A and B are shown apart, each in its own frame.
Chain A
Amino acid sequence: GAVVSQHPSWVICKSGTSVKIECRSLDFQATTMFWYRQFPKQSLMLMATSNEGSKATYEQGVEKDKFLINHASLTLSTLTVTSAHPEDSSFYICSARVGESYEQYFGPGTRLTVT
């Protein structure tokens, strides 16, 4: 099946620094990528939807200046958490979709800890 990778798989950073998380579709071209975050023992929450070559669409309550999303190519989307704070510590997961397909392929996730 289609494979989506994320890098890094985990990261620890200091408060105030920025962290970039990469999401790559390895064997297919993803026209749409989704970014989710998951707090412990909670459901995934959609943060934003990004289409290649256009600006991401952010969900209500998600600060677009804090969570910068770039979908520069059909195989790569990045999420940058700027000026990270401890409350940003979470599990971030991306998924990718081909065209208008209903199938979504999930990355393995990135665990971010901000100290």
Chain B
Amino acid sequence: KNEVEQSPQNLTAQEGEFITINCSYSVGISALHWLQQHPGGGIVSLFMLSSGKKKHGRLIATINIPEKHSSLHITASHPRDSAVYICAVLGDSNYQLIWGAGTKLIIKP
């Protein structure tokens, strides 16, 4: 079993829909990152969380430490949100990131 599991693996939705991507992990962590990777390959850091909730524009990220779970939400989704969203956790025994497999999101106009 992978230490970081994301669901769903693939998600296709219509423009305007509310999107939720989930991340569960099985290790102790210092922090959790949500990242976005566009087809060109570049990675953009969206959020780093160690507790609670963060919001940036239409993106919201939450983390539940006791349940070892985080969610990334996109409100009023748009085709430009189409990308792979990656959850990565920073283990609390070292500073290495453990990566989820990513969720490929396609938003149709």
Contacts and interface: CB of A to CB of B under 8 A. Distances in A.
Instruction: Say whether A and B bind each other.
Output: yes
Contacts, number: 48
B101 A104 contact: no
Nearest to A103: B48
- What is the size category of the interface that chain A forms with chain B? 20 to 34
A43 interface: yes
A102 B30 contact: yes
Contacts of B97: 34, 46, 104
- What is the size category of the interface that chain B forms with chain A? 20 to 34
B31 interface: yes
A105 interface: yes
Interface stretch (A16-24, A75-83, A106-114): A106-114
Interface of B: 30-31, 33, 35, 41-45, 48, 50, 86, 90, 95-97, 99-102
26 contacts: A32-B95, A38-B41, A42-B101, A43-B86, A43-B101, A43-B102, A44-B43, A44-B86, A45-B99, A46-B96, A46-B97, A49-B95, A93-B41, A97-B95, A102-B48, A102-B50, A103-B45, A104-B45, A104-B97, A106-B35, A106-B42, A106-B43, A106-B44, A108-B41, A108-B42, A109-B41
